[in-house]
Structure 1
Amino acid sequence: MPTESSRARSTNETRDRILGVALDVLGDNPDAGMGDIAAAAGVVRRTVYGHFPSRLDLIRTLTERAVTEMTAVLTEADASPAEADATWVGFVARVWPVAHRYRVLLALRRGEYGEAIHGLLGPLDELLADLVRRGQDSDVFARHLPAGVLSQLAYGAVFAIADSELPNGTPGARAATITSLLLLGVPESRALALVDDRL
């Protein structure tokens, strides 16, 4: 007879499997429904709804996981005493696999779940704005836009490139890093030198 801990472990494994499959299914089709996710996970719809009472609950959980992972990466990168542009390069290099995995959030953020996703991303958005503000204060990032807007443009480019990455690996992390640095106002020669040093 299964113990309480083995039942809990099995429940958590099923939940994690559903979330992993949901990322793949929604990545292929952001409009996929709970039935599509259940079929791909090899469970019945009731099982998916047992873990996530609505599609919004599922999207929120995916977003919370993404925020936790990306915040940890940014906090670690920002602990470095390096210039803000070098810190940004380190952040994008570390966050690339996470951005690639959660790229569907970019499409979902533009849809009916945009407000919920935007709210959950708030703490990460603030950290990004703080990093860009630090770069503006030390004259390595442009000042033509407020830090919050500029950070979103640069980070949005990372997600957009992650979403359009081709199977052969292009354009990839290098292109995402250079593009985001250019958007931040870093001169091309400096952006290329930073990326060549770090990637």
Structure 2
Amino acid sequence: MDDGVDGEGTGRRRGRVRANRSRIIEAAIAEFAANPDASMDDVARAAGVVRRTVYGHFPNREALVQGIADEASAALVSLLDGLPDLPDRPDLTTALLALLSWPVGDRFRVLLTFARRELGEERIRDLLVPARAPSLAIIERGQADGVFSRYLPAPVLVALSEAIALAMFEEANRGAVTDSGESFAVASLVLLGIAPERAAAIADEATRWLRESSAASGR
């Protein structure tokens, strides 16, 4: 019985630790979005915890920024692991992935405003690594089917699509992009050789597909 009580206590403590870490990460995202030079004290106040708690999870600002980056990467991996069964159409799947991934990038786009100088450009691009293999497979399939253009090799198109994603999030930071990923879906398809009007129609189709899929699953 004592072991069970100890186990429950340990579980509660771990739960509090995880909850505090998540609270600190969310507070840091909001604080850095408002002020890239926000201090650890600012983050602690926003998270509603004492400074010691923040330092218990992240010994310095660099570690905190790295923690946000790790959280962003984990969120993308979670998204990709939990994808629904997507249509057997490379163009529609490309639009769907753009729409599904936009909220993840939108949540963490604050990294682009301040973290480049602390993490470096390469680390920012590394955040997109989990999506690289699926994107490559879809583009290669689309090129083989004649749906996507072959004007550039698929790996180059993947690299360009990642650059577009980062650019779109930068523009969202500036307020120039305010939609829910539709522009990103269209831009991704245009890059692959789809005419803009057709790309917009596919993005609309993807939006309807997600709405109907969500309704069917009761979410």
1:174 aligns with 2:182: yes
Aligned to 2:53: 47
1:187 aligns with 2:185: no
Q: Deviations over 1:76-102 (max 9, x none)?
A: 559535222211111112122111111
Look up the SS of the partner of 2:66 in the other structure: helix
- TM-score by structure 1 length? 0.79
User: Which residue identity lines up with residue 65 of structure 2 in the other structure?
Assistant: I
- TM-score by structure 2 length? 0.73
RMSD after superposition:
3.1
Segments of structure 2 that go 5 or more residues without pairing to the other structure are: 1-7, 208-219
2:26 to 8, 20, 40: 20
Q: 2: distance between equivalents of 1:35 and 1:145?
A: 49
Aligned residues: 198
Q: 2: distance between equivalents of 1:60 and 1:190?
A: 40
Q: Deviations over 1:153-175 (max 9, x none)?
A: 324434443444488x8344222
Look up the SS of the partner of 1:193 in the other structure: helix
**Percentage of pairs with the same residue:** 37
User: Which residue identity lines up with residue 26 of structure 2 in the other structure?
Assistant: G
Look up the SS of the partner of 1:3 in the other structure: helix
Q: 1: distance between equivalents of 2:201 and 2:189?
A: 11
User: Which residue identity lines up with residue 157 of structure 1 in the other structure?
Assistant: I
Aligned to 2:206: 198
Segments of structure 1 that go 5 or more residues without pairing to the other structure are: none
Aligned to 2:215: none
CA 134–58 in structure 1, closer or farther in 2 if over 3 Å, else same = farther
Runs of 4+ off more than 6 Å? none
Summarize the alignment of residues 140-151 of structure 1 with structure 2, pairs less than 5 Å apart: 140-151=147-158
